[in-house]
């Protein structure tokens, strides 16, 4: 079953975020707390959304997403920040069902696209996404400002 996340799902989502970070060899970068997730997901006007895959009353996967905008299409879209299914539950359709729910939301709302990033070495995920018809955006490279560089630009750049 796929459903919007509820307050009671936040501990499980947080655990799965740390599992995902460990898989992506980036656990040392996780500073988000359950409180951070609670604040973002349960805000009066949230900018962050989550759906969970539930099996036997337990969250076994999640999709964490937010609304994006395409200036070229002139319409909103969904940016999928994280998609994760517990390893022992993979291959049972949970990931596909989570993505299908986000695709349904896109269609229902008239959004132009559903997009996300995937690590270049994550071959199982790439094969899965391509099996759904997703295509890599080969000409694009993600750039990020964070930490000291973000601070330096904020306080010293005009």
> The tokens of 148 are what?
């000291």
Do residues 46 and 40 lie in contact, with contact meaning Cβ atoms separated by under 8 Å? yes
Phi, psi angle pair for 13, to nearest 5°? -60, -45
Q: What are the residues whose beta carbons fall under 8 Å from the beta carbon of 48, sequence distance 6 or more?
A: 40, 41, 64, 65, 66, 81
Known catalytic membership, residue 84? no
Catalytic residue among 23, 69, 84, 129, which? 129
| Enzyme catalytic residues | 129
């Amino acid at each position: 079953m796929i459903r919007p996340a509820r307050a009671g799902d936040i501990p499980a989502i947080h655990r799965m975020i740390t599992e995902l970070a460990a898989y992506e060899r980036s656990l040392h970068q996780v500073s988000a707390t359950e409180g951070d997730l609670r604040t973002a997901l349960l805000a009066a006007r949230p900018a962050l959304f989550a759906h969970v895959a539930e099996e036997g009353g337990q969250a076994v996967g999640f999709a964490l997403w937010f609304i994006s905008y395409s200036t070229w299409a002139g319409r909103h879209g969904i940016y999928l920040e994280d998609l994760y299914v517990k390893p022992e539950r993979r291959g049972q359709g949970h990931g596909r069902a989570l993505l299908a729910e986000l695709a349904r939301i896109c269609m229902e709302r008239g959004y132009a696209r559903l997009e996300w990033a995937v690590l270049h070495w994550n071959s199982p995920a790439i094969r899965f996404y391509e099996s759904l018809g997703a295509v890599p955006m080969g000409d694009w490279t993600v750039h990020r400002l964070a930490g000291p560089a973000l601070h330096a630009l904020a306080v010293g750049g005009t």
